Amino acid sequence: MSGYDEFPDDDDPITVSPAVEEFLGDPGTPADVFSAVVAFLVDLREDPFPRLSMPVPGRPGMHSAPLRRDLGLVEYAVNEDADSPRVYVSRVLRAD
């Protein structure tokens, strides 16, 4: 799933999947992982292709990027066809 159909009509260029929302809202999410995911979202606001992001082979439009402190990976889709790039953060893969 590329996430392109999941973009809402609001002005925020970043949308997170329900799984990522649940992950961020879970009180059991370790503070260092929560902080790394939030830092990644801040980086996305500046550039939809943050440092060390890579395309996911065989999945057009999908990218992955490591979280700070090597705590895991984030997978996300970028729709560059819009006036400004739209990003759908589909999942967070923790390293533990």
**Domain ranges in the chain?**
14-94
For the chain (96 residues), the mean pLDDT of every run of 10, in chain order, is 49 92 94 94 91 92 92 92 86 87
Architecture of the CATH domain 14-94: 2-Layer Sandwich (3.30)
Residue carrying the six token digits 């980086």: 43
pTM: 0.81
pLDDT, position 77? 95
Let me know the angle formed at the C-alpha of 86 by 54 and 25, rounded to the nearest 5 degrees: 85
What is the pLDDT, as a whole number, of residue 9? 52
76: which 2 tokens? Answer: 């996300």
pLDDT on residue 12: 85
Nearest 5°: the CA angle 54, 58, 64 is 25
Are the C-beta atoms of residues 76 and 89 closer than 8 Å to each other? yes
